[in-house]
Amino acid sequence: MLPAFREDGRVRDLADALADVVGREHVLVDPETRAGYERDWTGRFGGPSAFVVRPGSTEEVSSVLLACAERSVPVIPQGGNTGLVGGGVPGKHDSRADRSHWPSPPAIISLSRISTLEPVDTASSQVTAGAGVTLAALQAAAASAGLAFAVDLAARDSATVGGMVATNAGGLHVMRHGAMRSQVLGLEAVLADGRVISRLDGLVKDNTGYDLSQLLVGSEGTLAVVTAARLRLVPAMHEQVVALLGFPGTEEALVALALLRRRADGLQAAELFYDDGLELVCSHAGIPRPLVHRWGAYLLVECASMNDPADGLLEALESLDLPDDATALATDAPSRARLWAYRELHSETVSSKGVPHKLDVTLPQGRLARFEAAVREVVERAAPRSTLVLFGHAGDGNLHVNVVGPDPDDESVDDAILRLVISMGGSISAEHGIGRAKSKPWRLFLNPKIPRQGPCY
Ligand X SMILES: Cc1cc2nc3c(=O)[nH]c(=O)nc-3n(C[C@H](O)[C@H](O)[C@H](O)COP(=O)(O)OP(=O)(O)OC[C@H]3O[C@@H](n4cnc5c(N)ncnc54)[C@H](O)[C@@H]3O)c2cc1C
CA 201, CA 213: separation in Å to the nearest integer?
Answer: 12
Of 11 and 174, nearer to ligand X (C-beta) is 174
Residues in 86-145 that interact with ligand X by CB under 6 A: 87-88, 111, 131
Of 90 and 406, nearer to ligand X (C-beta) is 90
With CA atoms as reference, report the closest residue to 65 among 194, 174, 151, 214: 194
Q: Which of 73, 129, 169, 330 binds ligand X (CB under 6 A)?
A: 169
Window contacting ligand X (CB under 6 A); options: 82-90, 242-250, 402-410, 418-426: 82-90
CA 150, CA 164: separation in Å to the nearest integer?
Answer: 12
Of 142 and 326, nearer to ligand X (C-beta) is 142
Of 6 and 400, nearer to ligand X (C-beta) is 400
Q: Which of 37, 41, 340, 371 binds ligand X (CB under 6 A)?
A: 41
Of 61 and 418, nearer to ligand X (C-beta) is 61
Work out how close the CB of 442 gets to ligand X at its nearest, in angstroms, rounded to a whole number. 14
DSSP secondary structure code for residue 96 in this structure: -
Report the DSSP pairing between strands 27-28 and 52-53. Answer: antiparallel
Cα angle value 10/11/14 (rounded, 5°) = 90
| Per rule CB under 6 A, count of chain residues that contact ligand X | 36
With CA atoms as reference, report the closest residue to 155 among 175, 172, 140: 172
CA 362, CA 426: separation in Å to the nearest integer?
Answer: 5
Q: Which of 56, 74, 77, 405 binds ligand X (CB under 6 A)?
A: 77
With CA atoms as reference, report the closest residue to 275 among 448, 391, 172: 391
Q: Which of 155, 281, 310, 361 binds ligand X (CB under 6 A)?
A: 155
Q: Would you state the torsion angle of the CA atoms of residues 80, 44, 180, 420, taken in this order, to the nearest 10 degrees? A: 180
Phi, then psi, of 296 in degrees rounded to 5:
-70, -40
Q: How far apart are the first and last CA of the chain?
A: 55
Work out how close the CB of 204 gets to ligand X at its nearest, in angstroms, rounded to a whole number. 24
317-356 mask for ligand X (x: CB under 6 A)?
A: ------------------------------x---------
User: How are strands ordered across the β-sheet holding 356-362?
Assistant: 327-330, 239-247, 297-305, 267-274, 387-393, 398-404, 356-362
Work out how close the CB of 319 gets to ligand X at its nearest, in angstroms, rounded to a whole number. 29
Q: Which of 56, 79, 277, 426 binds ligand X (CB under 6 A)?
A: 79
Residues in 402-441 that interact with ligand X by CB under 6 A: 431-432, 435
Q: Which of 27, 120, 166, 254 binds ligand X (CB under 6 A)?
A: 166
Work out how close the CB of 218 gets to ligand X at its nearest, in angstroms, rounded to a whole number. 9
Closest residue to ligand X, based on beta-carbon distance = 163
Q: Is 448 buried (19+), middle (13-18) or exposed (0-12) by CB count in 10 A?
A: exposed
Q: Which residues bind ligand X (CB under 6 A)?
A: 41, 76-84, 87-88, 111, 131, 153-155, 158-160, 162-164, 166-167, 169-171, 220-221, 225-226, 347, 431-432, 435
